[in-house]
Amino acid sequence: MTGLLVLALLGTLSPAHAGAARDPLQRDADAVRDSGVTGVSVRVDSPRGARTARSGVGELTTSAPVPPSEYIRIGSTTKTYVATVVLQLVGEGRLSLEDSVDRWLPGLVRGNGNDGRRVTVRQLLQHTSGLPDYIADVLPDMSAAGYLKHRSTTHSSRQRVAFAMTHPPVFAPGTRWEYSNTNYILAGMVIEAVTGRSWDKEVEERILRPLRLTRTYAPGDDPRLPRPHARNYQQFEAAETGGGSASGASPGSLTDTSLAYLPFDGDADGSLISTAADTNRFFSALLGGRLLTPAQLAEMRRSVAVPDTPGEVPGSRYGLGLAWTPLTCGGGYWGHSGSGFGYLAWPATTADGRVSITVAVHSRPADETTATRQIHAITDLVDHAVCVQPQRQEGEGHRDRT
Lowest mean pLDDT among 17-31, 53-67, 350-364, 381-395: 381-395
DSSP notation for 2-35: TTT------GGGSPPP-S--SSHHHHHHHHHHHT
Mean pLDDT of 330-349: 97
Q: What is the tens place of the pLDDT at every residue in 135-183?
A: 999 987 889 999 999 999 999 999 999 999 999 999 999 999 999 999 9
Q: What is the tens place of the pLDDT at every residue in 190-241?
A: 999 999 999 999 999 999 999 999 999 999 999 999 999 999 999 998 544 4
* Distance in angstroms (rounded) separating the CA atoms of residues 181 and 366: 21
pLDDT tier, 396 (very low <50, low <70, confident <90, very high otherwise): very low
Contacts 24+ apart (CB under 8 A), 56-62: 56/14, 56/15, 56/362, 57/15, 57/230, 58/229, 58/230, 58/231, 58/362, 59/230, 59/231, 60/13, 60/231, 60/233, 60/254, 61/246
Neighbours of 397 (CB within 10 A): 26
* Distance in angstroms (rounded) separating the CA atoms of residues 290 and 396: 18
* Distance in angstroms (rounded) separating the CA atoms of residues 149 and 141: 9
Question: Is pTM, for the whole model, over 0.75?
Answer: yes
Inform me whether the pLDDT recorded for 15 exceeds 50.
Answer: no
